[in-house]
């Protein structure tokens, strides 16, 4: 990763003619200078399909919208006209964002994409169709393939994927692939700080966001975030060896995760309201309420997991601090050997917390997971 996102974008975008597309189009994209430069260059002579591959929260959606603005704007992406602004908000008539309607992108979803692709643009010279989570299109992939092989002239498809499974190789081979990188915590922290977030908060939320810029933004506006991490850090001192204390703490921590979701739910409610107003003003577009709600549930699931992982990270840190203290004492204390048992216990606690965080991916029953972990940690005298 080289340098700050914003400055790198500015240097690489529009460097040749000094004009279009404007760096403003990618102002919401953090830490993806190469992807930005590739799409900015591609916008001058676009091909029919692009595949943006990158982890959740790395900015694929914002990249796709910036790219769409460059393709739809009569000026090639001025960044200030109504077309650019509407494209960046995802509400331009000739920009369609297709979400999967169920757990995976279905054959029906794919047929809708094919139909949409045949439409003529209504305002701009072309239309852009963004299809989210293309990696889930197992059975639906062959349906899309035909459109990718015989593309309609005025349509540009932008497919988004967190990864490219083997079944998707054929689809991937028909697209220009643009790779996004997980955004390093220090890049997110600097970006947040430049937007007025207090530096210590910026660093803490960037660390907890795991490369997910969206999550970092929400956490930075979440006054309870620091208090929640403190609650996790307080766990070692509050476990007293009894199952009752472990159970109470588990309940409390799970409740704090619900509390963490509150700002997210508010954002979603605002988004739903904006969508409804938009639908009223411009007629319904694809991606109805049910789809939106299903997507919101999936996002909430992911956020719960992320929140729990951030908490476990703080808890692991609390045991690591105790372990470091004990190891230091062991070096300076003449009675040191009596500390060996404690050091072993603390090292075991760190390992147990880290194992629980890893287990979260495979077994997302967070209540059981957390209760079992806290019972195990009860045996460690902090």
Interacting residues toward Zn ion by CB under 5 A: 73, 78, 81, 83-84
Exposure of 94 by Cβ count < 10 A (0-12 exposed, 13-18 middle, 19+ buried)? buried
In 3D space, the residue among 112, 146, 158, 122 whose CA is nearest the CA of residue 283 turns out to be 122
In 3D space, the residue among 181, 179, 204, 208 whose CA is nearest the CA of residue 305 turns out to be 208
Q: Which is nearer to Zn ion, 63 or 205 (CB)?
A: 63
31 φ/ψ sector (left φ>0, alpha ψ -120 to 50, else beta)? left
Q: Which is nearer to Zn ion, 78 or 137 (CB)?
A: 78
Q: Which is nearer to Zn ion, 84 or 217 (CB)?
A: 84
**How far apart are CB 15 and Zn ion at their closest, in Å?**
19
**How far apart are CB 93 and Zn ion at their closest, in Å?**
14
Q: Which is nearer to Zn ion, 68 or 312 (CB)?
A: 68
Helix (H, G, I), strand (E, B) or coil at 156: strand
**How far apart are CB 52 and Zn ion at their closest, in Å?**
21
**How far apart are CB 84 and Zn ion at their closest, in Å?**
3
**How far apart are CB 86 and Zn ion at their closest, in Å?**
10
Q: Which is nearer to Zn ion, 19 or 242 (CB)?
A: 19
Q: Between helices 225-233 and 289-332, what is the axis angle to 10°? A: 40
Q: Which is nearer to Zn ion, 40 or 73 (CB)?
A: 73
Kind plus residue range of the DSSP H or E element containing 53: strand 49-53
**How far apart are CB 324 and Zn ion at their closest, in Å?**
54
Q: Which residue is nearest to Zn ion (CB)?
A: 73
Cis peptide before 136 (omega within 30 of 0): no
**How far apart are CB 73 and Zn ion at their closest, in Å?**
3
Q: Which is nearer to Zn ion, 72 or 246 (CB)?
A: 72
131/320 Cα distance (integer angstroms): 43
Long-range contacts of 115-123 (CB under 8 A, 24+ apart): 116/286, 117/147, 117/151, 117/152, 117/155, 117/157, 118/152, 118/155, 119/155, 120/154, 121/94, 121/154, 122/93, 122/94, 123/72, 123/83, 123/92, 123/93, 123/94
């Amino acid at each position: 990763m080289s340098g700050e996102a914003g400055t790198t974008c500015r240097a690489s975008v529009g460097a040749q003619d000094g004009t279009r597309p404007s760096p403003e189009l990618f102002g919401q994209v953090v830490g993806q200078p190469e992807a930005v430069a590739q799409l900015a260059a591609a916008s001058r002579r676009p091909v029919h399909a692009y595949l943006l591959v990158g982890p959740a929260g790395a900015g694929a959606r914002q990249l796709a919208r910036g790219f769409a603005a460059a393709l739809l704007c009569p000026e090639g992406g001025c960044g200030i006209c109504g077309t650019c602004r509407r494209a960046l908000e995802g509400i331009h008539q000739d920009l369609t964002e297709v979400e999967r309607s169920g757990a995976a992108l279905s054959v029906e979803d794919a047929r809708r994409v094919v139909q949409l692709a045949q439409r003529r643009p209504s305002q701009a010279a072309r239309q852009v169709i963004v299809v989210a989570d293309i990696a889930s299109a197992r059975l639906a992939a062959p349906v899309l393939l035909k459109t990718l092989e015989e593309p309609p002239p005025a349509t540009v498809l932008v497919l988004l994927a967190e990864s490219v499974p083997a079944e998707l190789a054929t689809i991937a081979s028909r697209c220009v692939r643009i790779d996004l990188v997980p955004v390093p915590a220090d890049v997110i922290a600097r970006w947040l700080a430049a937007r007025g977030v207090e530096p210590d908060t910026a660093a803490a939320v960037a660390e907890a966001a795991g490369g997910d810029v969206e999550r970092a933004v929400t956490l930075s506006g979440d006054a309870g975030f620091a208090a929640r991490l403190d609650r996790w850090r307080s766990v070692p001192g509050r476990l007293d060896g009894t199952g009752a204390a472990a159970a109470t703490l588990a309940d409390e921590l799970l409740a704090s995760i619900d509390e963490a979701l509150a700002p997210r739910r508010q954002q979603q409610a605002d988004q739903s309201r904006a969508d409804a107003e938009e639908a009223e003003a411009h007629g319904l577009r694809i991606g109805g309420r049910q789809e939106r709600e299903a997507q919101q549930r999936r996002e909430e699931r992911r956020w719960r997991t992320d929140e729990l992982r951030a908490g476990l990270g703080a808890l692991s840190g609390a045991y690591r601090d105790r372990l470091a203290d004990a190891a230091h004492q062991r070096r300076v204390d003449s009675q040191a050997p009596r500390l060996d048992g404690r050091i072993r216990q603390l090292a075991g606690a760190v390992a147990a917390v880290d194992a629980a965080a890893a287990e979260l991916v495979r077994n997302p029953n967070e209540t059981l997971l957390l209760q079992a972990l806290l019972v195990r940690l009860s045996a460690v005298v902090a």
